[in-house]
Amino acid sequence: MKAPLWTSQAIGQATGGAISAPFTASGVSIDTRTLAPGDLFVALTDQRDGHDFVAAAFDKGAAAALVTHRPQNVAPDAPLVVVEDVLSALVALGRAARARTQASVLAITGSVGKTGTKDMAARVLTAQGRTHSSVKSYNNHWGVPLTLARMPADTEFAVIEIGMNAPGEIAPLSRLAHPDVAMITAIAPVHMAAFESLRGIAQEKGAIFEGVSQGGIAILNRDAPRYGQLLRRAQRRGLRPVRYGWSGLPEFRLHRVGVTESATSVGARVHRRALMFKLGTPGKHFALNALGVLAAVEALGADIAKAALALGTWTPPDGRGLRWSVDLGEGGLDGRIRLIDESYNANPAALAAALDVFAVTQPDHGVGRVAQGRRIAFLGDMLELGRNASAMHRDMVKQDALDQIDVVHCAGPLMQALHDALPARCQGEWHADATSLARRARRLVDAGDVAMVKGSLGSKMGQVVDAIKALGHVRPDTPMGED
């Protein structure tokens, strides 16, 4: 019989909370929509007060609730853990979970690529031991402690994503996760509203080293801006640096990347020995992240060869390059639209990488009202870029990949700068927001087209994704001839 994740006694010891009745919990949840029977419900207060949902949590089978008081409509005998502050108690529970496990822990941060890289690492480590990782992008002040609180005591490998929006956020999360290995994927002009320069961003990202175990390892992207700054920060902390990338002579060095519309082949040298592997998704940037994952795998004491083989089964998470085929008509008799969903996040570096991948994706010809299938980009605002945001949007017109894109439709006040700069041959429509563009989407695509949708989460370009999906039957995408 599987041991419970938490007993009420252990939760009480970790949080200092008062236990109203004994219980055991098999999971930890902050959302009644995804709560499973047996979960401890944590009544966080964010946009809404979690105490308003405690009764619903018990109706769905919650084992207990972590609260500051007994909410209305909750039975007098309902098992509660009563604490002074729910978030502080969740942090304490996460700290206790980290302390009780012997897992080898990898923490990942970076301006771009951290969620996909986290998922890559979790995928390849799962084949080598009991692995626990962050879900979605749970990487902030409540996401990291929640991830840790959900970690079983017998975990062998853990992969924790750590993010930030402002200075001072990463170091305490790293100390909480207390990783053995820390990886920084990239330094890019993201969150520029809170940071004045790349130096400031690198300073905050480098704070991930503050929580690394004594004698731990820092995985560094040799090609990243401010690499030298990050290297010095790691060395001052007494960490051993391991580098990956194209430049210089890193321990994990890329020397060849081949990209097709369905895969990426990678040639590398690891400690000067040849290594070849394949990713089951296209993207030069994915190849770089994958090599960093292999460096982390080695640092954790796992098998690189097994990990390289497992990379072939990895696909991007929702909103970060996941590909769909939208079949039109009964059984797809009217053709299909291929859809690349990049709607979760956007910044100049990520958009440039996405456009490069999009440029090699082939439309289907001779199947729609337009004889030649088209590459059609739907682009929404890139947020949190600071005072130079409009110029950063406009400068995307310089990307060589745009030469291969037939039409670019834009949404949002910032994307108007790019729309106005586009050459007439590919300038599509501009709309004030994603909602307006989504209403037009069905008239802007046709059978045979391949569409890419990208924007920051706050620009709500997921509405455009949903509008295109609504045109037919949706299934995972395969290039023509591979169905």
Segment 37-96, tens digit of pLDDT: 999 999 999 888 999 999 999 999 999 999 999 998 999 999 999 999 999 999 999 999
Is the model's pLDDT at 132 over the cut of 80?
Answer: yes
Tokens of 247: 């430049």
Mean pLDDT calculated for residue range 277-297: 94
pLDDT value for 188: 87
Distance set, CA 362 to CA 279, 374, 378, 452, 479 (Å): 18, 8, 17, 12, 8
Find out whether 156 and 180 touch, Cβ atoms under 8 Å: no
Distance set, CA 370 to CA 261, 444, 449 (Å): 22, 11, 9
356-360, 370-374, 428-432, range with the lowest pLDDT:
370-374
pLDDT value for 208: 98
Q: Which of 242, 156, 172 is nearest to 204 (CA)?
A: 172
Mean pLDDT calculated for residue range 337-355: 92
Is the model's pLDDT at 371 over the cut of 90?
Answer: no
pTM: 0.85
Is the model's pLDDT at 480 over the cut of 60?
Answer: no
Going along 372-463, which residue ranges are E strands? 375-380, 407-411, 427-431, 450-454
Is the model's pLDDT at 209 over the cut of 80?
Answer: yes
Better-predicted residue by pLDDT, 333 or 415:
415
Percent of the chain's residues with pLDDT above 70: 98
Count the neighbouring beta carbons within 10 Å of the beta carbon of residue 309: 14
Burial 16-49 (b: 16+ CB within 10 A, else e): ebebbeebbbbbbbbebeebeebbbbbbbeeeee
Mean pLDDT calculated for residue range 263-283: 94
Percent of the chain's residues with pLDDT above 90: 82
Find out whether 185 and 114 touch, Cβ atoms under 8 Å: yes
Q: Residue 481: which pLDDT band, with cuts at 50, 70 and 90?
A: very low
Number of H helices, E strands in the chain: 15, 23
Count the neighbouring beta carbons within 10 Å of the beta carbon of residue 196: 11
Distance set, CA 248 to CA 42, 222, 228 (Å): 48, 8, 12
pLDDT value for 329: 87
Distance set, CA 121 to CA 10, 290, 292 (Å): 30, 8, 9
CA distance 89 to 65: 12
Which are the contacts of 259, defined by CB distance < 8 A and separation ≥ 6?
282, 283, 284, 356, 357, 360
pLDDT value for 483: 42
Find out whether 279 and 315 touch, Cβ atoms under 8 Å: no
pLDDT value for 195: 82
CA distance 260 to 429: 29
CA distance 25 to 41: 9
Going along 61-156, which residue ranges are E strands? 64-67, 80-82, 104-109, 131-133
